[in-house]
A and B are shown apart, each in its own frame.
Chain A
């Protein structure tokens, strides 16, 4: 009897812990929101929410691609450099029209994605090393194409960066649409299921006859394309191409968003809702620290602590 109730009590505690780990990121967002509403002046305004949402959009888009890579038991460190490459290509081809320029930028993302995927799928290089090589080479290539900051004067790009539909900025709409699309891809498509299967166990996926190589290449192409889109949007918002600094440390923010959002680093699961909340959480954390006059360096330290805590929590979940 006692054993039974005791067992039930531990089971309840387990379930509570699991719920907390699963939905802790949403709780974190709510807590930070409430804290800011109470303690931060001028937080509760449409203008501020708009600013926060616009700032989080590129990070979120990159994080969506990162979630796919991590779900396949990989990682993509080249995303920041892809953003830089994308902004360089965009500037170079803007003379031929906006659509051509955007296509060129996305083509850059595809190119890097194919290179990453081929190194990982065909040569068998670890994802972290393959994408590290592309991270260096990609940033270099971006700087070769466009050696320094260049202002972007283009009405269509300006509209994309600062325009809105019914008060919702284009950037936010695009980010939301992409999040829904990726969530759909993960849950409802064959590619999504194959991706999770091979993230769960590569040998099992291979034995089951899944096209492991094709799926892996597609994963990194998706990540590259999403990072390139983020580069285009960031350029539109800043109305300038800055290949030197655009996207630096982006891989970190993206990994943080994904991991904090509950996607395990060991692959096999992808949580898009959590990733969105994770990206919002990082943004809110940064805003909170800055609005209370703490220096930007504290943001980095705070982010480092959040990463470790999130991974630590995920570890407990994995063990169970």
Chain B
């Protein structure tokens, strides 16, 4: 239950520095990356480029929001890439029956997948990674059978309200970005100011102790996986509204991006410690790096994969080292 506000008062200086690095390292890196990118490329700080980055960050950020809750409880959700894609296809198909169906259908189905994940993990005590690995496979299977093995693409009517939800702007900023910001504010309040948030930290901190203190461990776990499914489904739906179609090949590797963003943002994979603002910074940092790689141009997507893999490794090493330092001191 070590939330940042609860740092011991008498902490030594180097301990505090470690803690600071863990919490704000991503933010500092982001600022440095943005400054370096805007000095190197004239095209970086243009309205178009920023708008594009904000939008593509928004969808990943919503997925990372759910993932943060899951990781703080000490779990992991590998199914989000598949449920994201499934959500998009369901939304595009449902959009012919109106916006309500286009939004509710993916939320219902993806939420159900999350609920099943949670039930299997919490009630049957199966390993989170294997359960969500299975549902990653299952959700992709459902997606493929819905789209005639991926050959059918459902389109969204460009003039429908649902399409506007993905494409319109408010005060010059895309609606999906506003939705994402609102969700993060809600999520942060839920995590910091509600009993549910306390339960999430407690379960991740020490499950047995939490159970002894009367924390509803199983219910909390089921809730976070359901939340993760809902977030992935909603992100997929918004993405479909933006692209005006449900693209079947999306979402592969997204679970890794989301996990990376959360970890880069300072949330510990071992659970019990983390924060949503960090995940948002993590998403932005990943997108800025991707953008820079794209701007260099000569580096293709293959290098992009090498760089993101190496980056994740470096961050995890740094985090493990900082974490160990803090515990040792």
Q: List chain A positions with a Cβ less than 8 A from chain B.
A: 75, 119, 123-126, 128-130, 132-141, 143-144, 147, 249, 252, 255, 259, 265, 295-301, 303-305, 307-308, 311-312, 315
Q: Determine if A259 and B302 form an interchain contact, defined as CB atoms under 8 angstroms apart.
A: no
A144 and B203 alpha carbons, distance in the complex (Å): 42
Cβ–Cβ < 8 Å partners of A136 in chain B: 253, 256, 305, 308-309, 312
| CB closest chain-A residue, reference B307 | A140
**Complex interface residues of chain B between 66 and 113 (CB less than 8 A to chain A):** 76
Q: Determine if A140 and B133 form an interchain contact, defined as CB atoms under 8 angstroms apart.
A: no
Cβ–Cβ < 8 Å partners of B324 in chain A: 124
Cβ–Cβ < 8 Å partners of A141 in chain B: 302, 306
Determine if B219 is an interface residue (Cβ-Cβ < 8 Å).
no
A132 and B254 alpha carbons, distance in the complex (Å): 12
Known: A125-B317, A307-B130. A133 touches B145 (CB 8 A): no
Determine if B134 is an interface residue (Cβ-Cβ < 8 Å).
yes
A304 and B143 alpha carbons, distance in the complex (Å): 14
Q: Determine if A119 and B317 form an interchain contact, defined as CB atoms under 8 angstroms apart.
A: yes
Known: A133-B313, A296-B149, A312-B124. A123 touches B320 (CB 8 A): yes
Cβ–Cβ < 8 Å partners of B309 in chain A: 133-138, 140
Q: Determine if A132 and B138 form an interchain contact, defined as CB atoms under 8 angstroms apart.
A: no
Q: What would 10 more interface pairs be, CB under 8 Å, given A125-B316, A252-B133?
A: A125-B313, A133-B309, A134-B313, A137-B310, A138-B309, A255-B130, A307-B133, A308-B131, A312-B124, A312-B126
Q: Could you tell me the distance in whole angstroms from the C-beta of B129 to the nearest C-beta in chain A?
A: 5
Cβ–Cβ < 8 Å partners of A125 in chain B: 313, 316-317, 320
What are 27 A-B pairs at a CB distance below 8 A? A129-B263, A133-B309, A133-B312, A133-B313, A134-B313, A135-B256, A136-B305, A137-B306, A137-B309, A138-B309, A140-B304, A143-B305, A252-B137, A259-B130, A265-B127, A265-B130, A297-B140, A297-B141, A297-B143, A297-B149, A300-B137, A301-B137, A305-B138, A308-B120, A311-B126, A311-B131, A315-B125
Q: Could you tell me the distance in whole angstroms from the C-beta of A26 to the nearest C-beta in chain B?
A: 22
Q: List chain B positions with a Cβ less than 8 A from chain A.
A: 76, 120, 124-127, 129-131, 133-135, 137-138, 140-145, 149, 253, 256, 259, 263, 269-270, 300-310, 312-313, 316-317, 320-321, 324
| CB closest chain-B residue, reference A314 | B126
A307 and B129 alpha carbons, distance in the complex (Å): 12
A308 and B317 alpha carbons, distance in the complex (Å): 32
Known: A124-B324, A296-B149, A307-B134. A315 touches B313 (CB 8 A): no
Q: Could you tell me the distance in whole angstroms from the C-beta of B187 to the nearest C-beta in chain A?
A: 23
Cβ–Cβ < 8 Å partners of A134 in chain B: 309, 313
Q: Could you tell me the distance in whole angstroms from the C-beta of A137 to the nearest C-beta in chain B?
A: 3
Q: Could you tell me the distance in whole angstroms from the C-beta of A10 to the nearest C-beta in chain B?
A: 22
Q: Determine if B305 and A133 form an interchain contact, defined as CB atoms under 8 angstroms apart.
A: no
| CB closest chain-A residue, reference B120 | A308
Cβ–Cβ < 8 Å partners of A139 in chain B: 305
A143 and B306 alpha carbons, distance in the complex (Å): 10
Q: Of B134, B144, B304, B308, which one neighbours A304 at CB under 8 angstroms?
A: B134
Cβ–Cβ < 8 Å partners of A308 in chain B: 120, 126, 131, 134
Q: Determine if A303 and B137 form an interchain contact, defined as CB atoms under 8 angstroms apart.
A: yes
Q: Determine if B313 and A304 form an interchain contact, defined as CB atoms under 8 angstroms apart.
A: no
| CB closest chain-B residue, reference A134 | B309
| CB closest chain-B residue, reference A312 | B124
| CB closest chain-A residue, reference B127 | A265
A90 and B172 alpha carbons, distance in the complex (Å): 52
A151 and B263 alpha carbons, distance in the complex (Å): 40
Q: Could you tell me the distance in whole angstroms from the C-beta of A34 to the nearest C-beta in chain B?
A: 26
Would you list the 7 A-B pairs with minimal beta carbon distance, nearest first? A137-B309, A140-B305, A300-B141, A297-B144, A143-B302, A304-B138, A301-B141
Cβ–Cβ < 8 Å partners of B302 in chain A: 140-141, 143-144, 147
Q: Could you tell me the distance in whole angstroms from the C-beta of B130 to the nearest C-beta in chain A?
A: 5
A308 and B128 alpha carbons, distance in the complex (Å): 11
Q: Could you tell me the distance in whole angstroms from the C-beta of A115 to the nearest C-beta in chain B?
A: 8
Q: Determine if A132 and B137 form an interchain contact, defined as CB atoms under 8 angstroms apart.
A: no
Known: A137-B306, A300-B140. A132 touches B320 (CB 8 A): no
Q: Could you tell me the distance in whole angstroms from the C-beta of A308 to the nearest C-beta in chain B?
A: 5
Q: Of B143, B256, B269, which one neighbours A126 at CB under 8 angstroms?
A: B269
| CB closest chain-B residue, reference A128 | B129
A135 and B305 alpha carbons, distance in the complex (Å): 9
Known: A140-B309, A303-B137. A129 touches B130 (CB 8 A): no
Known: A132-B256, A136-B253, A144-B306. A124 touches B320 (CB 8 A): yes
Cβ–Cβ < 8 Å partners of A305 in chain B: 134, 138
A129 and B256 alpha carbons, distance in the complex (Å): 9
Q: Could you tell me the distance in whole angstroms from the C-beta of A285 to the nearest C-beta in chain B?
A: 13
Cβ–Cβ < 8 Å partners of B141 in chain A: 297-301, 304
A311 and B121 alpha carbons, distance in the complex (Å): 11
A249 and B78 alpha carbons, distance in the complex (Å): 13
Known: A301-B138, A301-B142. A129 touches B149 (CB 8 A): no
Cβ–Cβ < 8 Å partners of A132 in chain B: 256, 259, 312
Cβ–Cβ < 8 Å partners of B321 in chain A: 123
